[in-house]
Amino acid sequence: MFWYTLIAVFVFVILALLIAYAYLTFPGKRRPISPELLGTKFAHRGLHDAAHAENSLSAFRLAVENGFGIELDVRLSKDGTLVVFHDDTLERVCGVEGNVIDYTAEELAAMRLSGTEEGIPTFREVLDLVDGRVPLLVEIKEAAADSAVSLATAEMLRTYGGPLLVESFNPLSLGRIKEQLPAVARGLLCDHYTKKPEMRKPTYHILQWFLLNFKAKPDFYAYNFESRRFLPFRLVRKLHKRPTLAWTVRTQLDNAISRESGFTSIIFEDFIPKEENV
């Protein structure tokens, strides 16, 4: 009798865990996304090179001229202005000490991007430049306990008429976008985080197993191309059948592999993808 009881408890625990996992990772009702958006090839931080810095107006202009979508990053300046910049800190791109949030938008505009003559643009400047001509993939850079960036982004996008998608590594940010802009498709950026020693923390285990999907309700996933074989991604991809974007694809060969691997589209850098392989 003891063994029967032990087996029954074991089965009950396993079933309870499976039910809990299914609930936590369920992304909600599947919503259709425009084929125009799903088929877009997104230039990572614009179509940048030595002459056109990442996340610069010239890199975005070049992407528009070549008919590519644009992936970009938004965060707040000291005076609460949305600016387009990837890193928390300014050192890598601008050679300046400190965080983006330590400077006003005017001060950031006066800094030089990667040795060019361009400064850090505001999100408004980028929206005015693109003006709906190509799709945008807007990544919200926001700490877990914050909400200012997602709320400011939603407010600015409320009157933007061009095609766009919003993504973030932060599921809570996507939850706020769902509340503020329910018609805009949201994507969860994700990766096999704990392969890096510095990320072997409970938070990253939760994120890489998609345990906050119930909050984010993603309409698509944007996943690290190099981690595409990681079990949690393969599992949710099979179960949820959401569109998937591969980031960051850097060669024509990987471009072809991404298509063979079932990715809907790519976020690319360092090469120009050929039409027949995307």
Active-site option among 44, 52, 192, 240: 44
Q: Give dist(CA 88, CA 269) in Å, integer.
A: 21
44 included as an active-site residue: yes
Sign of torsion, CA 233 238 242 243?
A: positive
CB 180 within 8 A of CB 154: yes
What span, in angstroms and rounded, lies between the C-alpha atoms of 176 and 189?
15
Q: Of the listed 48, 52, 86, 205, which one is catalytic?
A: 86
* Cβ burial 212-233 (10 Å sphere, 16+ → b, else e): bbeebbbbbbbbbbbebebebb
Distance between CA 233 and CA 75 in Å, rounded? Answer: 27
Q: Which of 216, 154, 224, 152 is nearest to 187 (CA)?
A: 216
Q: What positions carry a catalytic annotation? A: 44, 86
